Chain A
Amino acid sequence: MTDPEDHARIAKQFIEAIPHARALGMRVDEIGAGRAVISMPWAEHLVGDPRTGVIHGGVVSALMDTCCGAAVMVHPTNPRSTATIDLRIDYMRAATPGQRITARAECYHMTRSVAFLRATALDEDEENPVAAATGAFTAER
């Protein structure tokens, strides 16, 4: 049995080693007890609208999906692995170009085989979320 701090450190290394997470420059800022905070920088090649420089919605989806999966992996019931069953994202506003995007996910309910997640994505204006997500993930034991 690993203690929670080791578990968090292993989870951080594991997530930051995922090829797509690395390609997007994701960084695990906080992780533990069914919650995760993951952020990534704005980048020119991730732009969805060249007229405004706003990042593509798909990038926000990838960040939220990773963050939700990470929150499942550090749930106190220790799932062996997880996969997305479904994910719904509401896009509330465009993320400000040049600013870091931070996702916060919380596993608010866990059953033997399914985890239920909520997440938000923020830029530097922490009062006004960029996007919100709800999802169901598998919990493999």
Chain B
Amino acid sequence: MADRNEPLHQIKSRRDSALHAMVSGVPYMSWLGIRFDRRGDELTAILPYDEKLIGNPMLPALHGGVTAAFLEVTAIIELGWAAMWEDLESGRIAPDAAVEGSLPRLPKTIDFTVDYLRSGLPRDAYARARVVRSGRRYASVHVEAWQDNRARLIAQATGHFLMPQP
């Protein structure tokens, strides 16, 4: 159990720098512009709108592949984040973007199924993932994406992942 009297700024900086280390290490996520908002251990992925994300210029609508990639990135980060949370809180690991090898490896996608519910509008999108089951070797994750209204999903997905072996 973590120290109850640990200074708040220290807790926040530990969690934020670990999250930053996970996200900033992946060039593709930076290229898409994806960032994460953190409230305690809850993560919300944000995909800011950009013209290069368009798949149908006539509507216009986000590219289905962008939606799939956004959901997959969110699932992987949530899974990696959940898997390292206890080690992070107990101080066993201290991920730092500047220190090579300080970050646990990310899970690998086995399969990913996207269910497209509405066409993505040319504006920001958000996503949250839930680890349905995480074993030592395999994990199953569900993820949802929306834009203006949390209840009106643009897409949802389920994926299976191979956990990194120690």
Contacts and interface: CB of A to CB of B under 8 A. Distances in A.
Contacts of A20: 52-55, 63, 65-66
A17 B55 CA distance: 9
B114 interface: yes
B134 interface: no
Contacts of B56: 18, 81, 83
Contacts of B53: 19-20
Main secondary structure of the interface of B (DSSP, over half): mixed
B85 to A, nearest CB: 21
A112 interface: no
B109 interface: yes
A47 B29 CA distance: 9
A45 B31 contact: yes
Interface residues of B, number: 37
Contacts of A62: 63, 65-66, 68-69
Given A58-B68, A65-B68, A48 B26 contact: yes
B56 to A, nearest CB: 7
Contacts of B54: 18-20
27 contacts: A18-B54, A18-B55, A18-B57, A19-B55, A19-B57, A19-B63, A20-B55, A21-B55, A23-B52, A45-B28, A46-B28, A47-B26, A50-B27, A55-B28, A58-B68, A59-B69, A61-B68, A62-B66, A62-B68, A66-B55, A87-B68, A88-B111, A88-B114, A89-B111, A90-B111, A91-B109, A91-B110
Interface of B: 25-32, 51-57, 61, 63-66, 68-70, 72-73, 105-106, 108-116, 119
Given A18-B63, A58-B73, A86-B116, 20 more contacts: A19-B51, A19-B53, A20-B54, A20-B55, A21-B55, A46-B27, A46-B28, A49-B26, A58-B69, A58-B70, A59-B28, A61-B69, A62-B66, A64-B65, A65-B68, A66-B55, A66-B63, A86-B114, A88-B113, A88-B114
